[in-house]
Amino acid sequence: MRILAIGDVIGKPGRQALSRLLPSLKEAYAVDFTIVNAENSAGGIGVTPETAADLWAAGADVLTSGNHVWAYKEILSVLDSEAPIIRPYNYPPGVNGRGYLIKNGVMVVNLIGRTFMSSYDCPFRTLDALLEQVKDKPPVIVVDFHAEATSEKVALGRYFDGRVSAVLGTHTHVGTIDAQILAGGTAYVTDIGMTGPVDSVIGDDPEMVLKRFLTMLPHRLSAGKGKTVMNAILVDIDNISGKATRIERLQKETE
């Protein structure tokens, strides 16, 4: 099975890039299943029913998210529906939505980190419990770990090496060069990167970001403009053993 995981989609530029690039990319690489992180797809922060629909229309099979998924209350009813969108599994009990789903023979799990972020439930112990709890889980299990600290991401990849097919980091919007298959057969990368404007500060308009840094005053941020880039990770997984056999970073640009 060949899985394509696409990094955080940033606003309208990111959605347009996905729409332009994903269909041909899926065909060229014979992709079986596509996972897209959607949590910044609405104006650079949050996701709405409309932006989620854009990503599904572009070819996403499952949408993952992170700490910004709650920015628009309209998304709550979608999270509670059967639509293929998930939020981090290790939020406290009672939160809208679900943290994993199984579709087309793939179990997709969304986790969020704690280091430099917030006091979420432990992602290590939470995923431990989930893997024990789900008895009918398929061999192919892909984890989107939405976290800030490199060390926490690497540690989670090592901890679940051999027990999940892939641990793919999101959140920082900066793709890392450590795509690899760990000793136990788990595909790993610290961060996939983003799908959004090249001339930006992690997807946001540079002028607004610089005002924040220079004045330390709050300024409304918006997605950057111009040429866009899609950062993605391609993983081949044996659908019998659940072990990854190949991992490759992809980077595609549009004008």
Residue 41 in tokens: 């797809």
At residue 229, what are phi and psi to the nearest 5 degrees? -130, 145
- Considering only CA atoms, give the Rg of the chain: 17
Total count of residues recorded for the chain:
255
CB atoms within 10 A of CB 181: 18
Cβ-based neighbour number of residue 71 at 10 Å: 17
Question: CA 173 to CA 170: how far, in whole Å?
Answer: 7
User: In 3-state terms, what secondary structure has residue 78?
Assistant: helix
* Euclidean distance between CA atoms 47 and 38, whole angstroms: 6
Cα separation, 181 vs 164, whole angstroms: 12
The catalytic position among 68, 146, 171, 173 is: 68
Longest dimension (CA), the chain: 55
For the question of residue 171 being annotated catalytic, the response is no
Sign, CA dihedral 10-254-26-160, equals negative
CA–CA separation, 240 and 39 (whole Å): 31
Assess contact for 250 and 18: CB atoms under 8 A. Answer: no
**89: nearest Cα among 42, 40, 146:** 146
Q: Which residues are catalytic?
A: 68
